[in-house]
Amino acid sequence: MTRYQIAYKEPKKILTPASGFLYGYTHSLNPYTGCLFGCSYCYVRQSPVGLFRGEEWGEWVDIKKGIHEKYILEMSNLRKRGKEVTIFMASATDPYQSVEYKEKITRALLEAMVKMPPDFLFVQTRSPLVTRDIDLFLKLKDRLRISVTVETDLDEVRKSFSPQAPPIQARLKAIGELQKNSLPVQAAVAPVLPFSKEFPETLAGLVNRIVIDDFYTGDGSNGKRTERLKIKELFTEDELDKWYGKHVHQYAYENMKRAFSSEQILISKQGFMPY
């Protein structure tokens, strides 16, 4: 059984000026460093934090203690200077990974945000734990988007590509619950993995906005970053080769069009922008 390395850290700053694919935002906010979901296709694997730590990505996490207080301090300073603040949470970790059940770092941050709201908050996760914080999301709902990843509806496929991530059924249930509470939620089919014929209708029964992204459109390097992660091998091992390539994006779009209008389907970056 894998032993996870869990450490406590006190970072000096928590609101990071946004850059790269987050160009639409002023800041990113990562409640943790590292991610115990350890998805095979995670691009953070190739960033300095993933490469030079000396431990396998997915087997360690640093818990950032006390960051809700830092949030208030940093926000006060930004507001004093009249700055707009739009936050993407999180770009290099999952804010609702398993340690969040006990640590409640993300929850404390949201409580701080209710006291001092950003202009916009984007919450990206693949964990059903996100529903625990519906009470706080309701207080932020006019400046919020919650995005829950469901790359496929086939849990066997999920197990091949991200065995440590939460089961698909639990994520679908979470999406339905967020939508039932009239929260601004989307399903992120990103990256597209092999899915069943019924997937579009399943999603349409739960949510009215989806975003599609794949290994070519979404990796910022026309598929090269994904090639370095050797993701193609996973498709080959499972005889799923036809699901890997530039055509997959269009194929997913055509299928989703059966159940969603074109306005309800966002493509790649479009689905992750603020407002």
Q: Which residues bind ligand SF4 (CB under 6 A)?
A: 35, 37-39, 42, 44, 93-94, 126
The distance of closest approach from Cβ of residue 79 to ligand SF4 in the complex, given in angstroms and rounded to an integer, is 29
C-beta of 74 vs 100, nearer to ligand SF4: 100
Neighbour-count burial of 265, counting CB atoms closer than 10 A to its CB (0-12 exposed, 13-18 middle, 19+ buried):
buried
The distance of closest approach from Cβ of residue 90 to ligand SF4 in the complex, given in angstroms and rounded to an integer, is 7
Tokens at residue 272, please?
Answer: 């992750």
- Residue 191, preceding bond cis, omega within 30 degrees? yes
Dist CA 35 CA 58 (whole Å): 5
C-beta of 44 vs 150, nearer to ligand SF4: 44
Tokens at residue 220, please?
Answer: 């910022």
C-beta of 230 vs 258, nearer to ligand SF4: 230
Helix, coil or strand: residue 174: helix
Dist CA 101 CA 78 (whole Å): 30
C-beta of 153 vs 200, nearer to ligand SF4: 153
The distance of closest approach from Cβ of residue 44 to ligand SF4 in the complex, given in angstroms and rounded to an integer, is 5
Does residue 169 contact residue 45 with C-beta atoms inside 8 Å? no
Look up residue 9 and give its DSSP letter.
E
The distance of closest approach from Cβ of residue 73 to ligand SF4 in the complex, given in angstroms and rounded to an integer, is 26
The distance of closest approach from Cβ of residue 80 to ligand SF4 in the complex, given in angstroms and rounded to an integer, is 32
C-beta of 18 vs 42, nearer to ligand SF4: 42
